[in-house]
């Protein structure tokens, strides 16, 4: 039987599906989001073997693969330094907020890894090395955008 792909050029079309979904964030994600919602605190956890401090917290260490227990959690600073960013100026259906805003990787004080969030104000002053602080929403519901964004406190 002949394979049609040998006789006809197999074209593809690009498409996009917007599909609402819900999934469990698990014990680790729940603990992190509940602290954002109820206490306006950013929690991290520390690998008991290598000492890497993760924010958001992880169930196990990505470096040495050991489980990170509930005794290894800590509150981390809501301030840090921008290490990388990109400014978004176009509107797109899946964005967390209306543009313009920036996606930024923020090195929170005391963390070993970058934390990805958004910066909405002061984009003209935004640069790598800018010092920022989390600003929480007045009404929080247990999601990452309970942090409204990060404010530049020192450019």
Site for Zn ion (CB under 5 A): which residue of 38, 49, 59, 75?
49
Given the complex with Zn ion, which of 54 and 101 has the nearer CB atom?
Answer: 54
| CA atoms of 144 and 67, how far apart (whole Å) | 23
Residue 147 sits in the site that holds Zn ion (CB under 5 A): no
Q: Compute the least distance from the CB of residue 79 to Zn ion, in Å.
A: 25
Which one, of 57, 82, 83, lies nearest residue 144 by Cα? 57
Sole window of 8-16, 48-56, 103-111, 112-120 interacting with Zn ion (rule: CB under 5 A): 48-56
Given the complex with Zn ion, which of 63 and 69 has the nearer CB atom?
Answer: 63
| CA atoms of 41 and 145, how far apart (whole Å) | 13
Site for Zn ion (CB under 5 A): which residue of 43, 55, 61, 132?
61
CA 108 and chain centroid, separation: 12
Which one, of 97, 99, 113, lies nearest residue 147 by Cα? 97
Residue 69 sits in the site that holds Zn ion (CB under 5 A): no
Q: For residue 56, give the 3-state DSSP assignment.
A: coil
For binding to Zn ion (CB under 5 A), which residues are involved? 47, 49-50, 52, 61, 63-64
């Amino acid at each position: 039987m002949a394979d049609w792909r040998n006789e006809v050029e197999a074209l593809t079309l690009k498409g996009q599906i917007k599909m609402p979904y819900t999934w469990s964030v698990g014990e680790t994600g729940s603990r992190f989001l509940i602290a954002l919602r109820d206490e306006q605190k950013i929690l991290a956890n520390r690998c008991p073997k290598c000492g890497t401090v993760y924010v958001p917290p992880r169930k196990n260490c990505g470096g040495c693969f050991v489980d990170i227990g509930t005794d290894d959690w800590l509150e981390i600073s809501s301030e840090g330094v921008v290490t990388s960013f990109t400014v978004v100026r176009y509107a797109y259906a899946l964005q967390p907020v209306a543009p313009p805003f920036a996606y930024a990787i923020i090195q929170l004080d005391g963390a070993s890894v970058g934390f990805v969030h958004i910066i909405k104000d002061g984009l003209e002053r935004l640069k790598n090395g800018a010092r920022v602080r989390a600003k929480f929403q007045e009404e929080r519901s247990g999601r990452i955008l309970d942090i409204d964004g990060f404010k530049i406190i020192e450019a």
